Structure 1
Amino acid sequence: MNAVTDQQKQAFREEVSAWLRANKPADPGFLLPQSFMEVGSEQQLDFLREWQYKVWSAGYLGMAWPEAYGGRGMDPVFQAIADQEMRRQAVPICFNVIGLGWAGPLINDIGSEADKARYLKGILTGEDIWCQGFSEPDHGSDLGNAQTRAVRDGDDYVINGTKIWTTMGNFAKYMILLARTNPQAERKYDGLSFFLSPMDVPGIDARPIRKLTGEYGFTETFFTDARIPADCLMGQEGEGWKIAMKTLQYERGAEAGAAGGLAFVRIVIDDMIDQLRDVRRDDAPVLDDPVVRDQLVQLVMEEKAITLGDRRANIGALSNDYPFSLQLSNKLRFTENTRRMRQFAINLQGADGALYVGDEEARQGGFWQRAYLNSFSATIGGGTSQVQANIIAEHILGLPK
């Protein structure tokens, strides 16, 4: 593939920008999710599905995926540009994130041709929603100890157990499922297998969970003698842990291959400054307070470091000291910075920070309060911040367990 020139990049950026300006949907008149983890109603789902289909139809989603399966087979740099423009123009999210960012890249990478033909295009169009069946209620972050059972019975596997935090599980057509096929395995990890499981079979019940914000998005999913076809198995029995770890590399941003699109409403420091300039404390703008300004500069530095770190990660000569350190730490750095920045925005509001969505006096309609509470889901999903810190310590710094 020939190198993409700066002129080609600029021409494409202008093309995408013009399309987004012409096609950005109007305010629908109801609350839209700030991320794919808050899609809780059919109304929201229909709106976002229509938008994702429109983006894909225009050619700006899955651009680097094979043409045979709904992509465009182009250099990934074009998808990166399209994503940057979507962020810049604050268009709605592309909601099918587990498919676009985790299941799809995995299937593209290690799936069979039959898997690719069956699943990939439906992920891009938004027709086929995917969810994740990894975490379980009784095992917290101990994913290797998953106890949901998958027992081979002829041409089927019979599944029994419970999964938790299955985002959009009540809307999903498919689940990436980690289940135990060999409870007698000497190493617990060797007893796990990985499935591309349908969700529309008898015995699967996904029950929505109401969150602190009053919104939905997560579900708890119960399997009771649910029969799924044996060809849903990815790889071989006992390879589930290896495949799950590869999937988590995509989820944590350490592997390329995602289809693109916005997974969440991106809020940066400049947004916070613009929206809170008129907040006053003791008859003076709060942003003029020297202590506040010092705290603000710290957040600005962190945000800039994350942005530059992402660029540095793609330059081998600047990342050889600790290979993959930036990719593996990206999830922890980004989600914790996001949480702190949103909390800071609430603190600046003083007593108004206690107001929420629905309160007439809430600033920006309670946007920052809702954003702060929703930020915790990202610090948990894909491995908690504590687990991420352990990964960095053990796999990058070489510290003992």
Structure 2
Amino acid sequence: MSATDQELKEFRGQVSAWLSDNKPADPGFLLPQSFMEVGTEQQLDFLREWQYQVWNAGYLGLAWPREYGGGGVEPVYQNIVDQEMRRHGVPICFNVIGLGWAGPLINDIGTEEEKARYLKGILTGEDIWCQGFSEPDHGSDLGSAQTRAVRDGDDYVINGTKIWTTLGNYAKYMILLARTNPDAGRKYDGLSFFLSPMHVPGIEARPIRKLTGEYGFTETFFTDARIPADCLMGEEGQGWKIAMQTLQYERGAEAGAAGGLAFERIVIDDMIAQLRDMTRDGEPLLSEPVVRDQLVRLIMEEKAIALGDKRAAIAPLNTDYPFSLQLSNKLRFSEYARRMRQTAVDLQGAAGSLYVGDEQARQGGFWQRAYFNSFSATIGGGTSQVQANIIAEHVLGLPK
């Protein structure tokens, strides 16, 4: 039975009250702006404890099966929680690859044993997940992955390298795409998909220092690493199909995520607020026609993205190009976020060159850090160029 409007209203009130009472205080150190910047044990411990509190209160994984740690209710309840989390500005739920990609995949096509083994640990934050898709020499060309998985009795022996492994140095498990048949007729047919443990001999995750000075990504090396054969998901040779389903979750085209915030909520109103006291030639910056025009364009774009998300959930409004909004969501949002943050830095004038740690930096260098960090989202899950090709081919029907 579907929830009534009154029931949902009462639930929203409960969630809002809980968040007001339990929103963590400023910890006194820099928190990640997204799950891609978790770079210290201090940050990890703080975020892990916060995610556990959210789950323990019954506000994470609400649409996942109750027997695996979820709430077993309609997705609309999780949508309300996520909306209230954004409104209250609480910290992120950091285990995003588990909550948003691996978990939904296991829920949809995993065996009962896999669900019982993995799902609850994803929700509590006890079991951190990472993704082993991209490789140093292939980038977004996943079909050319060369990491090898060779069957040897009850194990697979893994050799190769993965790059941009978010949370790789903290992860307990990896969703891994590896080549089991190098002689397959098509390169896609030789790939297999694994739910691989990370804490085994022969797997090393080396943190990568980013432009911001922070960490979050790693390069992961497999050197004769042995993982149990039952880590294989599906059958050998089905890896490409399963990987594409996983990317549907990552790119926002499929439902099923456990919920929570993956990114610190940064919106155009925040940017306008930081410009209010700025002047240029003795006049308020916000009074300049060119600046106002820039801001209005960004306001319109942000509103269009929000309305597009609502439209995507109403089937009769998507009959012209089915799935166009879902498939374009990642591209539209990530590129908008990058341009909005760049504008925020540009409008600071000379002060825009200052960064975190400089006493003269506006808002402690918040916008500069946000701008640099925004590039991660334009690359992860397929670069913006790859996303444009997907839309052209699969929505508009254009040739490759």
Shorter chain as denominator, the TM-score bin is over 0.9
Tell me by how many angstroms 1:8 deviates.
1.1
**Residue matched to 2:311:** 312
Q: Could you say what secondary structure the match of 1:196 adopts?
A: strand
The yes-or-no answer on 1:111 pairing with 2:110 is yes
**Residue matched to 2:199:** 200
**Residue matched to 1:342:** 341
Structure 2 unaligned blocks of 5 or more: none
Identity %: 83
Query: TM-score normalized by structure 1?
Result: 0.99
Tell me by how many angstroms 1:92 deviates.
0.4
- C-alpha separation between the residues in 2 aligned to 1:235 and 1:44? 35
- C-alpha separation between the residues in 2 aligned to 1:340 and 1:280? 22
- Give a deviation string over 1:221-254, Cα, whole Å, max 9, x none: 0000000000000000000000000000000000
**Residue matched to 2:371:** 372
The runs of at least 4 aligned residues of structure 1 exceeding 4 Å deviation read none
- C-alpha separation between the residues in 1 aligned to 2:188 and 2:166? 24
**Residue matched to 1:283:** 282
**Residue matched to 1:124:** 123
**Residue matched to 1:247:** 246
The yes-or-no answer on 1:256 pairing with 2:252 is no
- C-alpha separation between the residues in 1 aligned to 2:200 and 2:252? 32
Amino acid corresponding to residue 123 of structure 1 in structure 2: I
Q: Could you say what secondary structure the match of 2:351 adopts?
A: helix
**Residue matched to 2:221:** 222
Q: Could you say what secondary structure the match of 2:206 adopts?
A: strand
Q: Could you say what secondary structure the match of 1:33 adopts?
A: coil
Q: Could you say what secondary structure the match of 2:259 adopts?
A: coil
Q: Could you say what secondary structure the match of 1:397 adopts?
A: coil
The yes-or-no answer on 1:133 pairing with 2:132 is yes
Q: Could you say what secondary structure the match of 2:325 adopts?
A: helix
Tell me by how many angstroms 1:372 deviates.
0.2
- Give a deviation string over 1:239-271, Cα, whole Å, max 9, x none: 000000000000000000000000010111111
Amino acid corresponding to residue 108 of structure 2 in structure 1: D
Tell me by how many angstroms 1:178 deviates.
0.1
RMSD of aligned residue pairs (Cα, Å)? 0.5
Tell me by how many angstroms 1:276 deviates.
1.6
Q: Could you say what secondary structure the match of 2:99 adopts?
A: helix
**Residue matched to 1:9:** 8
Amino acid corresponding to residue 302 of structure 1 in structure 2: E
- C-alpha separation between the residues in 1 aligned to 2:347 and 2:5? 42
Contact (CA 8 Å) 1:196, 1:232: kept in 2 or not?
A: yes
Tell me by how many angstroms 1:285 deviates.
1.2
- C-alpha separation between the residues in 1 aligned to 2:4 and 2:298? 34
**Residue matched to 2:172:** 173
- C-alpha separation between the residues in 2 aligned to 1:352 and 1:287? 17
The yes-or-no answer on 1:47 pairing with 2:39 is no
Structure 1 unaligned blocks of 5 or more: none
Tell me by how many angstroms 1:46 deviates.
0.2
Tell me by how many angstroms 1:141 deviates.
1.4
Amino acid corresponding to residue 91 of structure 1 in structure 2: V
Contact (CA 8 Å) 1:279, 1:348: kept in 2 or not?
A: no
Contact (CA 8 Å) 1:61, 1:259: kept in 2 or not?
A: yes
Tell me by how many angstroms 1:9 deviates.
1.3
Tell me by how many angstroms 1:360 deviates.
0.4
Tell me by how many angstroms 1:180 deviates.
0.1
**Residue matched to 1:20:** 19
